[in-house]
Structures are given as structure tokens and as C-alpha cells.
Amino acid sequence: MSVTNDGVIWMNGELVERENAKISVLSHGLHYGTGVFEGIRCYKTSKGAAVFRLEEHIKRLLDSAKIMMMRQKYTVSELMTAVLETINANNLEECYIRPIITLGDGGLGIATTDAYPIDVIIAVWQWGAYLGDEALSKGIKVKTSSYTRFNVNSIPIRSKTCGNYVTSVLAKREANISGYDEALFLDTEGYVAEGTGENIFIIKDGILITTPLTSVLKGITRDTVLEIARDLNYTVKEQLFTRDDIYVADEAFFTGTAAEITPISMLDNRLLGTGSIGPITKKIQSAYFGVVNGNNRRYSKWLTVVK
């Protein structure tokens, strides 16, 4: 995915041309991964461009920052307004939104204090299907990673911290080199955790099962799917399961803002179901796109129209 070169970026309260949106090479965040970020999507709806679950994403961003002991520079409503301003300024109908709060240039060394400078940046760009258009219709091949998802005391799980993503990058690279589309992390006890940037659901005998939140990001798409599935009268469970449970599942899919609802057609060379998108995944996926595209009034509460 390449971020387009034109457009403007919101930086510390101002909209600046991308080429002028710069931070110091001695930023703490660059050296130690001490930043927190979000991934949000804005969809084209009949009412115009609308951001999906904006408030929840901004609240999670500030929760991440709190866990990382970063001083709060902007409020939820200021950041929500800033996101809308940035989309408007870039004149986009549909885009991916990347807010990031990062420790700035206040001297290097591990020690930080509340006085440390903080940079708050919001970038937006067009980002199509995360794992390719075919992934959404046919599913992806996944490999269990040789990397283990974090123990809850190794890294703050509830914080979407930049540094957390190093293992995601390595796991993804490892999977791609081996000919797979995505990697699956197991937790320190060997139970299924999540993808490199997605939560996971399996379906067995008509019941949807997803992992508990212990060692995974508290995904907003995961939460959306839980609500949609209950409304469609499916039984949903949050419980631990193993890779074997996936091998023998009828269907499985990943959820994420970027990945949306991506079916898993194969795990570790075991074909799932028919090896394409399963019937329940298809229903959930089309309900999800109905919700984010503003075609389901029941969920209009989750859409913030840009203008």
C-alpha cells in the first residue's frame, strides 16, 4: 500500500502539505516505538462521506495514550473534528484514516516524563481491499506464525502501540515469503489469538465463536460483528479455541478496519469448508458492508457524516 503523495496532513492543530509535515529524526517514537495509533475508515454513503465508529476509535486512541502514560493534548471531540476537517481538506469520499500520537524530540534515552513533547498527526488516503479484492470474495490462505502473540504482561494489549507491530511485520513477512496471505498468532498458552492486524472468528454448526479479549486487540470490527450477528439471530460465543478447531471449522474469517470481513479459505494447508467464502460469512460480510455504506438505518448511529 502506498500512501499518495499529494494531499494535506493534520499536524498539531494545523493542516499542512504532506511534504511539510515533518517530525524530528530524534523523535522518541522513531527510536523506541513510543507512539499510539488508530486505523479508521470513511465510506461513501447516500448522505455523503461518513466515518465509521469515529468516536469509538478516537476513544481507543486516547485510552492507548493513557496506558502509554502520554499527556493528553487534545480531547475526543477536538480529534473527531480534526479527522473530519482532514477528510474535507483532502476532498475524499472514501478513505482510510490514520491518527497517530507519538512522543517527540525531547532528548533520547528510555526515561520519559509528562513534560515530553507530543506530536499528534492525522493522515488520510485511499485504501481499497486490505488483502486484495479477491480476498473479500474468495478468502485467503493463512499460516500459523512462528511468532507468539504477547503475554498480557509483556506489552500493553489494550493499547494500539506502534512498537507492538514489530512482530506483526515479521509474522506477515514470514507468511508472505512462504506463499500465504496472512499469519495467525497463537497466544503464550497455544490458543488462537489474532492475525497481524485482525481479530478472528470461526463458525461451527451455525455458531460464531471469537477469542476472548485477553491477548488480542479489542477490535471495533469484532464488536460490530458481534452486534450484527446477534441481530441476525446467530448464537455468538467468546471463548478460547485452538488451531485444530479452525482446521475443522465450517467457516472462518478475519475482522479489522483495514481487512473488513475477510474469509479464511485455508489454514496451514487445511481447506476450510469449500475453500471459498462460506454462507454465514457471506451474510455477515454483506450485512457489514450494508452498515458501513449507510444502507441499514438501524446502525446509522455508527456513522458520522463528514459535511
- Angle of CA points 48, 52, 58, to nearest 5°: 125
Q: Which is nearer to ligand PPE, 166 or 271 (CB)?
A: 166
User: Is 218 noted as a catalytic residue in this protein?
Assistant: no
Q: Nearest distance from residue 115's CB to ligand PPE, in Å?
A: 30
Q: Which stretch binds ligand PPE (CB under 6 A): 74-82, 83-91, 249-257, 269-277?
A: 249-257
Q: Which is nearer to ligand PPE, 152 or 271 (CB)?
A: 152
- Total residues at the site for ligand PPE (CB under 6 A)? 16
CA–CA separation, 272 and 263 (whole Å): 10
Strands 48-52 and 40-45: antiparallel
Q: Which of 222, 253, 263, 299 binds ligand PPE (CB under 6 A)?
A: 222
Does residue 99 touch ligand PPE according to CB under 6 A? no
Restricted to residues 167-206, the positions that interact with ligand PPE (CB under 6 A) are: 194, 197-199
Restricted to residues 29-58, the positions that interact with ligand PPE (CB under 6 A) are: 39
Q: Which of 27, 257, 262, 265 binds ligand PPE (CB under 6 A)?
A: 257
Q: Nearest distance from residue 100's CB to ligand PPE, in Å?
A: 11
**H helix or E strand, kind and range, residue 287:** helix 279-292
Which entry of 141, 143, 160, 172 is annotated as an active-site residue? Answer: 160
Q: Which of 131, 217, 226, 252 binds ligand PPE (CB under 6 A)?
A: 217
Q: Nearest distance from residue 10's CB to ligand PPE, in Å?
A: 18
Q: Which stretch binds ligand PPE (CB under 6 A): 76-84, 140-148, 219-227, 241-249?
A: 219-227
178 Cβ neighbours under 8 A, 6+ residues apart:
143
Strands 95-103 and 118-125: antiparallel
CB 208 within 8 A of CB 236: yes
Strands 40-45 and 236-238: unpaired
Q: DSSP of 138-192, one letter per residue?
A: H-EEEEEEEEEPPPTTTS-TTS-BGGGHHHHHHHHHHHHHTT-SEEEEE-TTS-E
Joined together, the cell numbers standing for residue 300 give 446509522
Does residue 86 touch ligand PPE according to CB under 6 A? no
Residue 101, burial from CB neighbour count under 10 angstroms (0-12, 13-18, 19+) = buried
Does residue 263 touch ligand PPE according to CB under 6 A? no
Which residue in the shown chain puts its C-beta closest to ligand PPE? Answer: 39
Catalytically annotated residues: 160
Contacts to ligand PPE by CB under 6 A: 39, 194, 197-199, 216-217, 219-222, 255-259
